[in-house]
Amino acid sequence: MALTRPYPWEASYPPGMQWDAPYQRGTLPELLAKAASDYGDRPAIEFRDRQISYTELARRAALAAAGFHRFGLKRGDTVAFYLHNTPYHPIAFFGAFQAGLRVVLLSPLDAPRVLAHKLKDSAARTLLATNIPGMLQVAERLLAEGHADRLIVGEDEAWGAPSPGLPLPAAAIPWSSFEGGDAPPDPGLTPDDVACLQYTGGTTGLPRAAMLTHGNFTAAISMLNNWSFTKDRPYGVDDRVIGVLPLFHIYALTGVLLRSIVSGTEILLRPRFDIATTLDDIERKRATSFPGVPTMWIALAGVPDLEKHDFSSLRFAGSGGAPLPAEIATRIEALTGCRLGGGWGMTETSPIGSLIPEDVPYKPGLIGLPVPGLVMRIVSLDDPSVELGPNERGEIAIQGPNVTPGYYNRPEENAKAFADGWFLTGDVGHMDENGFFFLVDRKKDMIISGGFNVYPALIEDAVYEHPDVAECAVIGIADAYRGQAAKVFVSLKPGAAELTYEALKDFLKDRVGRHEMPTALEIRDALPKTPVGKLSRKELSDEEKARGA
C-alpha cells in the first residue's frame, strides 16, 4: 500500500483543520525579531516576579550576540549551555543565533563524563553556566579538565535569587562583563542551517546529536499551530504558560519557549517544579496553560483537598514525555475541565509528530493523527522499503519539514536511520483504517523515566566498571511515579563479595545521571543469552512482565 492523498487521517481531522495548511519556515533570529515588532512591551517572560518584555528580550539577545562576537566566536562555531531554567537561557539562545552559532543544550541530569563526551563530540569549546550550587562546580571541573576553553557564568543574583550564588571562579567570564560590544556581522543564516545539536541516544549507548535546523524549528511551531485553531488554541497574547519544563529538553524548547515567542504568550519561567508555586501560578497569577510531564501531574493529584483549589484560569493542560496513568488523567480532567492531551514525537522530529483530537476517547497505545504537513506510515521491520497496510504491525516512518536531516558526524547511523527519504523512528506500531496511529513497542530498549530518555547501554557501561561485576544487563520496569525506571541484573565474578543495591547506587553516583540511577538490583548466577551469545534484555523484560502479572 502506497500512501497518497487524501491521506487516511485527513477524514478524521477535527472540522476546520487542513493537512495542507501553509506553514512558515524561516530562521530563529527572524522569529524573535518579528515577535519584538509585533508584541513590543508586552511581557515575554516572568521570572521571580520580574517581567521581561519582548523588546527587552530582543535587546538583551543582541547584547549576547555582541559578546559572543567580541570573544572570537564566529559563524558555525558551537556554544554549549549548561543551564537550569533562567532568563540567561532564552537571552543567550537567541543571541547565539544572531552571531551565527550553533547551540548544544546540556542536561544538568547528566554525569560529568557524559557532559564531557557531548562537548568533545560537538566541538563546543565555549560553555555557558550560572553560579548556582552544584552546577557551577561541574562546569568548573569541565573547564579544568580541558573539555572547554572558555566558561561564561551568569550571575543568578541578577535575577533576584533567593540566596547568594557561589563566588565566580577566577577563570570564568562573568556575564556582566561578557555581554555587549560591536554587533556581529550578519551571519546570513538560512532555514537549512543547523541551529541545535540536540543529543539523544546512540546505538553504542553514547548520546548522538540530532542536527535540528532553523527550518525544522520554525516549521514545527507553525505545524503545531495549524493543529490548534479557534477556540482550543492554548497560546495567544492574553495567555500565560507555566514554564517549568526544563528548557534543555526538546519538549519545552519547542512547545513552551518557541511556541510562546511566536504567539506573544507570557512564560512564567520557573527553575524547577514545586507544587506550591505551580498552584500559586494557576490560582493567583492566572496561568492559562500548563504543559507538564506525568510526574508533575501525579504529584499534583496527590495534594490533599486538591478540589478546593481554583483551576478556572486553565484553558489547556498537557502531559507528554511518557504515558500518564489513566486514573491520574481522569482526576485532573475532572478538576480542571481540561483534557490532558496525548500524542507522540521525538527529538529528531523537533519534537512534533502526532496528536490525539480532544473528542477522541483514549485507547491503549493510541498516539493520534499526524499533525498537518507531516506524513507517517508503517513499514516492514525486515525491509523498510515495504509499506504495510492498515492494522499491520511494523516500524513507524515519518517525513516532514520538522524532521532532522541527520545525526552530526554519524554517517553510518544516518544510513540506517533513513530509507527512501523516510526517517525510521525505531518505534513499532500500526495505523488503523481511519488514519489513527498506535504505538506498540520500541525497537530499541530505551527507557522513558519521568519524561527523560534513559539508555540501558550507558548504565551498563558504568556498572561494568565495578570490579566485582562479571555480566550486567539493564531493562526498564514499571515505576508508579516515573512511569519507568531502570533495573540492573548482575552476575558477579567468582569469589566476589556480596553486592547490595545501596553499594551499587553509591558506586554509580558519579557515573550516571540522577534520572538514570537504577531503582532495583537483582543478582543472578548467570544472565540469559540469545542463541548467538548476546545478553538477552528481552528475556529479562518478559520475566519481569510475567512476574508483574
pTM greater than 0.85: yes
CATH number at residue 507: 3.30.300.30
Whether residues 153 and 232 share a domain: the answer is: no
- Residues 319-334 as b/e (b if ≥16 CB within 10 A, e otherwise) read bbbbebeeebbebbee
**8 Å CB contact between 512 and 111:** yes
End-of-domain residue from the set 292, 324, 341: 341
CATH number at residue 267: 3.40.50.980
pLDDT class of 109 with cuts at 50, 70, 90: confident
Measure Cα distances from 488 to 307, 424, 521 in Å.
Answer: 40, 29, 5
Dump pLDDT digits (tens) for 318-364.
888 776 777 788 888 898 888 887 889 999 999 999 999 988 888 87
- Residues 455-489 as b/e (b if ≥16 CB within 10 A, e otherwise) read bbbbbbbbbeebeebebbbbbbbebeebbbbbbbb
Ramachandran area for residue 202 (φ above 0: left; ψ -120 to 50: alpha; else beta)? beta
Give the domain range for residue 127.
46-189
| Interatomic CA distance for residues 97 and 93, integer angstroms | 7
Whether residues 178 and 283 share a domain: the answer is: no
Give backbone dihedrals phi and psi of 100, rounded to 5 degrees, phi first: 80, 20
Establish if 165 belongs to a structural domain: yes
Mean pLDDT, residues 28-41: 98
Whether residues 73 and 183 share a domain: the answer is: yes
Domain total in the chain: 3
Establish if 180 belongs to a structural domain: yes
Whether residues 144 and 236 share a domain: the answer is: no
Instruction: Report cis status (omega within 30 of 0) of the bond before 184.
Output: no
Establish if 399 belongs to a structural domain: no
Q: What is the 3-state secondary structure (H, E, C) of 16-63?
A: CCCCCCCCCCCCHHHHHHHHHHHHCCCEEEEECCEEEEHHHHHHHHHH
Whether residues 56 and 127 share a domain: the answer is: yes
Whether residues 51 and 170 share a domain: the answer is: yes
Per DSSP, which regions of 437-540 are E strands?
437-442, 447-449, 452-454, 469-479, 483-492, 520-523
Grid coordinates of 520: 532495583
Whether residues 84 and 151 share a domain: the answer is: yes
* Average pLDDT value for the chain: 92
End-of-domain residue from the set 135, 166, 189: 189
Q: Name which of 3, 178, 211 is nearest 104 in CA terms.
A: 211
Whether residues 178 and 239 share a domain: the answer is: no
Establish if 513 belongs to a structural domain: yes
Decide if pLDDT at 284 tops 70: yes
Dump pLDDT digits (tens) for 312-326.
999 999 888 776 777
Grid coordinates of 163: 540566596
Whether residues 245 and 176 share a domain: the answer is: no
End-of-domain residue from the set 189, 216, 236: 189
Whether residues 163 and 244 share a domain: the answer is: no
pLDDT class of 532 with cuts at 50, 70, 90: low
Establish if 379 belongs to a structural domain: no
**pLDDT score, position 125:** 98
Whether residues 247 and 179 share a domain: the answer is: no
Measure Cα distances from 531 to 34, 208, 528, 534, 536 in Å.
Answer: 59, 30, 10, 7, 9
Whether residues 286 and 160 share a domain: the answer is: no
Establish if 336 belongs to a structural domain: yes
